[in-house]
Amino acid sequence: MKNLLILLFLVTGLSAWSQVAINTDGSDPDNSAMLDVKSTGKGFLPPRMTTGQRNAIASPVEGLVIYNTDEKGLNIFNGTDWTPLMPIPVFECGYSITIYHSIAGGVAPVNKTVTYETVSDIPGEPGKCWITSNLGARRQATAVNDSTEASAGWYWQFNRKQGYKHDGSARTPNTTWITTIIENSEWIAANDPCFLELGTGWRLPTISEWDNVNAIGGWTNWNDSWNSGLKLHAAGFIYYSGGLLSSRGSSGNFWSISQWNSNNGWYIYIGGAGCGSGYGDRAAGFTIRCIRNL
């Protein structure tokens, strides 16, 4: 690159502080550009690298751009994190949204691209938009008793942003499980995985919103919640005392944003014998559905 610039300066007679134009028509660079590349037959090729290679760049400067061969798109360093460089579409409920989940944010347990379907007009909360699969799930469940990791998605402890993947035998990340959480707090926005992973407007449901869809939807057992637009299924949970997976395929527990007391948070549960709200230990790992106002 140094030799190329020296050659450009020798050929064009430019000083080291001049603007540079790379073209075949001999035109001057635009006044607003330090480097002006003109072509009607070729493109600009940025450095191409994997996510791992990108993350190995030492002290990236804010504004640095690369092409990520894993994500199949441009990434830019914003001074804190690497983010996809793409336009943000106007959201409309009923259409799918595709999210690249990255472990760099301290929320997703693994790097993963997921497409979520969305739905509105749910009885009890018709003015809200919901995702129809659990946060982190590769797909919508195939049955109410679907016991696969692909449909279960990830699990969270109350008011904690770190999610956990469980394949049935191993938990990721396999850090020491927090067995006791005592704090007088609702689930705050700074820790809300829905907001952090899906973007502005998305959040966990309140327990009132869960109670409304349960009551107005007439849910008496898991068949009712499964046959609703939300397609809730039995994704199980991670037990609070040991971090082990339990009840996948036989029941489901979904956190709300609401606390019951300093030891417990409100959630909604589904099972063959019934559906309803309850409060559970903050240290338990439950699944999450995300919601936003229309």
Q: How far apart are CA 44 and CA 33, in angstroms?
A: 15
pLDDT category at 13 given cuts 50, 70, 90 is: very low
- For residue 157, being part of any structural domain is answered with yes
Q: 25 and 123: one domain?
A: no
Pair of tokens at residue 141: 């469940």
Q: 143 and 276: one domain?
A: yes
* Number of folded domains that form the chain: 2
- For residue 73, being part of any structural domain is answered with no
Other CB atoms within 10 Å distance of the CB of residue 73: 12
Q: What is the pLDDT of residues 222-265, one digit of tens each?
A: 999 999 999 999 999 999 988 999 999 999 999 999 999 999 99
- For residue 82, being part of any structural domain is answered with no
Q: 13 and 115: one domain?
A: no
Q: Are residues 236 and 247 in contact, defined by beta-carbon separation less than 8 angstroms? A: yes
Q: pLDDT value at position 26?
A: 75
pTM (whole model) above 0.75: no
Q: 234 and 124: one domain?
A: yes
pLDDT category at 2 given cuts 50, 70, 90 is: very low
Pair of tokens at residue 218: 């007439």
Query: Residues 104-110: what's their mean pLDDT?
Result: 96
Q: How far apart are CA 273 and CA 83, in angstroms?
A: 44
- For residue 241, being part of any structural domain is answered with yes
Q: pLDDT value at position 176?
A: 95
- For residue 197, being part of any structural domain is answered with yes
> Could you give phi then psi for residue 235, rounded to 5 degrees?
-90, -5
Rg value, the chain, Cα = 24
Q: pLDDT value at position 11?
A: 47
Q: 172 and 280: one domain?
A: yes
Query: Residues 21-31: what's their mean pLDDT?
Result: 79
Q: Domain of residue 17: give its range.
A: 2-37
Q: 11 and 157: one domain?
A: no
